[in-house]
Amino acid sequence: MEKLVINGPSRLQGDVTISGAKNAAVAIIPATLLIDGVCTLENVPNISDVKISCSILEKLGAKVTWISEHSIKIDSRHIKSTSAPLDMTSKFRASYYLIGSLLSRCHKAEVGLPGGCKLGARPIDQHIKGFEALGASVNTTQGKIVASASHLIGTSIYMDTVSVGATINVMLASVLADGTTTIDNAAKEPHVVDVANFLNAMGADIHGAGTDMIKINGVSKLHGNATYSIVPDQIEAGTFMLAAVASKGDVVIHNCIPEHLDCLTAKILEMGGEVEESGDSIHVWCNSRPNKTNIKTSPYPGFPTDLQPQAGVVLAIADGTSIINESIWESRFQYTAELNKMGANITAQGKSAVFEGVDFLSGAPVYASDLRAGAALIIAGIIANGETDLYNLDHIDRGYECIEEKFRKLGANITRVNEE
């Protein structure tokens, strides 16, 4: 079993370069199924969710070639199957984008129920509502979602809840539909905009991505023969910003879009950290113990739920009592039990948690319950006194590229060990 051995405390200092966004890449890769041609993706993060997305595409008949460490060429001209294997789709959440893409391109999709982080109930009713409104019939049977349509017709869809996945999936399903589709109460996350930009670069006609209302004028085909660079990962950048504050460090984060992190910057200033933006870099430093701060997660441009655990580490050692209210996921406080093993004083109940700041954390064996919990526990290990052994690295490898190398370069004492 692999584990990360982290010996702290370390003060993080130096430069780090952010990879392409996981949550954009895992949508754009299946979106290439819409293209009757070849396209090249750049700034692709080298993470396990991307590798499995590429393997599924190959099973469906696409040709995927890594042309450099972060670039892939995808040829989707000869799709031979509309059925994605259950053992592969169950490995990650974003496999649900295969439904919108296959439905759009082939009018048929059979996709095993998606897996992914266990964050409580993760319904896909809004995805299904959107597909059905476009004219598809959708059934869930024997662990699979089976969707088909003789043809898809543009329509108006109101999302009952703001959903990243449903917004992107309906966008994928409607790109080649007859007529115009509108998505009202759409998600506005940077990766939603990135998927729309990718599709437009390939010949789609999508307007309003990044606002509450997205309008998709159906086109007859997407042309390919283009290169698209995936947006930098907002959550990875935010993870390093919070690691800088937690370790009272001084870190310059390159290849990021500071505007995507405005709400985090505001919170870091409340915590007593300093932030300086310059082009595609953010310089974050903190010279003293962080201040207490309250946080409420909400859809973009609100505070991202995917940065909540990492912010929780800062509040665990802040001066005073802080409260986090989690408004997106039911079970995103599992990391707090692990932080308590390290000496934190956190009481989590339902969707809120009270953080009584302690003076320091102490190393302990801890387990990542999900991807962002894993990132949070790495930060906790870096600032804690003594050795932290972190297990369940599969979660972390799904979404962070070379995470221990990046932290090591900033001064952390962190090693991946294969334990007998």
Which residue numbers are catalytic? 117
Instruction: Confirm or reject binding of residue 296 to ligand EPZ (CB under 6 A).
Output: no
Name the token pair of 375. 């990132």
Question: Is the dihedral angle over the CA atoms 224, 18, 327, 272 positive or is it negative?
Answer: negative
Q: Toward ligand EPZ, which CB reaches closer, 136 or 371?
A: 371
Q: Toward ligand EPZ, which CB reaches closer, 10 or 167?
A: 167
The CA-to-CA distance between both ends of the chain, in Å, stands at 7
Rounded to whole angstroms, the Cα distance separating 50 from 58 reads 12
Rounded to whole angstroms, the Cα distance separating 395 from 385 reads 24
Instruction: Confirm or reject binding of residue 195 to ligand EPZ (CB under 6 A).
Output: no
Secondary structure (3-state) at 99:
helix
Q: Toward ligand EPZ, which CB reaches closer, 15 or 259?
A: 259
Would you say 50 and 23 are in contact if contact means Cβ atoms under 8 Å apart?
Answer: no
- What is the closest distance, in whole angstroms, from the C-beta atom of residue 250 to ligand EPZ in the complex? 27
Residue nearest to ligand EPZ (CB): 165
Helices (H) and strands (E) in the chain, counts: 14, 24
Interface region with ligand EPZ, contact rule CB under 6 A, candidates 34-42, 125-133, 207-215, 386-394: 125-133
- CA 218 to chain centroid, in Å, comes to 27
146 residue type, one letter: V
Rule CB under 6 A: which of 87-106 touch ligand EPZ? 93-94
CB atoms within 10 A of CB 347: 12
Rule CB under 6 A: which of 132-191 touch ligand EPZ? 161, 163-166, 187
Q: Toward ligand EPZ, which CB reaches closer, 37 or 301?
A: 301
E-assigned strand segments in 279-356? 281-285, 295-296, 321-325, 345-349, 352-356
Instruction: Confirm or reject binding of residue 305 to ligand EPZ (CB under 6 A).
Output: yes
- What is the closest distance, in whole angstroms, from the C-beta atom of residue 221 to ligand EPZ in the complex? 26
- What is the closest distance, in whole angstroms, from the C-beta atom of residue 327 to ligand EPZ in the complex? 8
Name the token pair of 377. 């526990």
Instruction: Confirm or reject binding of residue 50 to ligand EPZ (CB under 6 A).
Output: no
Instruction: Confirm or reject binding of residue 122 to ligand EPZ (CB under 6 A).
Output: yes
Would you say 346 and 316 are in contact if contact means Cβ atoms under 8 Å apart?
Answer: yes
Instruction: Confirm or reject binding of residue 14 to ligand EPZ (CB under 6 A).
Output: no
Q: Toward ligand EPZ, which CB reaches closer, 328 or 346?
A: 328
Would you say 339 and 362 are in contact if contact means Cβ atoms under 8 Å apart?
Answer: no
Instruction: Confirm or reject binding of residue 372 to ligand EPZ (CB under 6 A).
Output: yes
- What is the closest distance, in whole angstroms, from the C-beta atom of residue 103 to ligand EPZ in the complex? 16
Footprint of ligand EPZ on this chain (CB under 6 A)?
23, 26, 93-94, 117, 121-127, 161, 163-166, 187, 305-306, 328, 371-372, 399
